[in-house]
Homo-oligomer: A and B are copies of this chain.
């Protein structure tokens, strides 16, 4: 039987750290993720995490990569509810918004963090998310669309859903939405904006 590192002491501390980190992320925010807090949460000495991550930044960027991977998966799952390219793009936008509502701190970690030189996995994960978005717009525009047009539409749709998501996460809409049913009102507004955006695309049959 091949030797499995996972079987040494804790079992699989590295994996446990990442899982606990993603939980703690949504509970306490990015700043709440400290190597010591994670060690406490897992009942392990506070120096133990350093066996698996050289420093806190390495841990955070690994978490960000996983967050991006979850995000990309959510976008794909959303898209796959439909078959027509323009409807697929709309569903991707809806999935973007819903991910932001469900996992706000994930989005914050992904976008709002400074990673001076992101490790390959993070760079790849964020690039993959972008490519899903881009492919969705390209498909909705159809094969004839010129590159400049594609670029502009990718930018515009990304900015729209990202802005809506961020305004929600940051609570900036707090005073503009009804206190009861804020979430529902927000979803309605977002969905309507997405539909308007889709309508603005050139028709292609």
Contact = CB atoms under 8 A, between A and B. Distances in A.
Given A156-B192, A159-B164, A163-B164, 17 more contacts: A111-B166, A111-B167, A126-B172, A127-B175, A130-B175, A152-B193, A154-B176, A156-B196, A158-B163, A159-B159, A159-B163, A160-B160, A161-B163, A162-B163, A163-B166, A166-B166, A196-B200
Interface string A40-77: 00000000000000000000000000000000000000
Interface of A: 111-112, 114, 126-127, 130, 151-152, 154-156, 158-167, 170-172, 175-176, 189-190, 192-193, 196, 200
Contacts of A112: 112, 170
15 contacts: A112-B112, A114-B171, A126-B172, A127-B175, A130-B175, A152-B192, A155-B164, A155-B190, A158-B167, A159-B159, A160-B160, A162-B166, A163-B166, A196-B200, A200-B200
Contact of A156 (B111, B152, B160, B172): B160
